[in-house]
Amino acid sequence: MRIGELAARAGTTTRALRYYESRGLLTARRGPNGHRVYGEDDLRLLRQIRTLQDSGFGLEETRPFVECLRAGHPSGDACPASLDVYRRKLAELDACIAQLQAVRDTVRERLTRAETGAGTPAPAAVPEPRCELAPHGAGPIGRTG
């Protein structure tokens, strides 16, 4: 299939496919006319990349999954390197959740004091959320700072 068809079937753009190619995540073969030609395996790679990115993984974090599929495994997360990426992402998410929970606790405490008229001690800085793990327009979970 040609680049436009692959992009449509994968739910992305030809520009994104060219970018993935420039990053070594996708490899185009060339037809006799010089046009890029892709197969069903390329569609499977793209679906893996998109699924991971939609779950908050950065493009480079998808590389071990792509390499796992290219190595012939039925699933991109069947390889040790992919499992390592999952572990790192889970640790990152846990840290982000802890940061956000601390901010939430501070805001809840201030709200309770304000509602009960207990007054507020000298203003202390409210920790800022610093997590951003949802790319592709899914909306930020917090801010990077």
**CATH topology for the 3-116 domain:** Multidrug-efflux Transporter Regulator; Chain: A; Domain 2 (1.10.1660)
Q: What is the pLDDT of residue 139?
A: 36
Q: pLDDT > 90: what percent of the chain? A: 75
**pLDDT mean across residues, the chain:** 86
DSSP-assigned letters across all residues of the chain:
--HHHHHHHHTS-HHHHHHHHHTTS---EE-TTS-EE--HHHHHHHHHHHHHHHTT--TGGGHHHHHHHHTT-SSTTSSHHHHHHHHHHHHHHHHHHHHHHHHHHHHHHHHHHHHHT----S--PPPPP------TTS--SS---
Domain boundaries, the chain: 3-116
Express each pLDDT in 7-66 by its tens digit. Answer: 999 999 999 999 999 999 999 999 999 999 999 999 999 999 999 999 999 999 999 999
* pLDDT greater than 70 at residue 109: yes
| pLDDT tens, residue by residue, 52-101 | 999 999 999 999 999 999 999 999 999 999 999 999 999 999 999 999 99
- Cα-Cα-Cα-Cα dihedral sign, residues 72, 76, 82, 83: negative
Q: How confident is the model at residue 131 (pLDDT cuts 50, 70, 90)?
A: confident
- Give the C-alpha separation, 85 to 28, whole Å: 26
pLDDT reported for residue 143: 38
Query: Under DSSP, is residue 80 helix (H, G, I), strand (E, B) or coil?
Result: helix
Confidence (pLDDT) at 24: 94
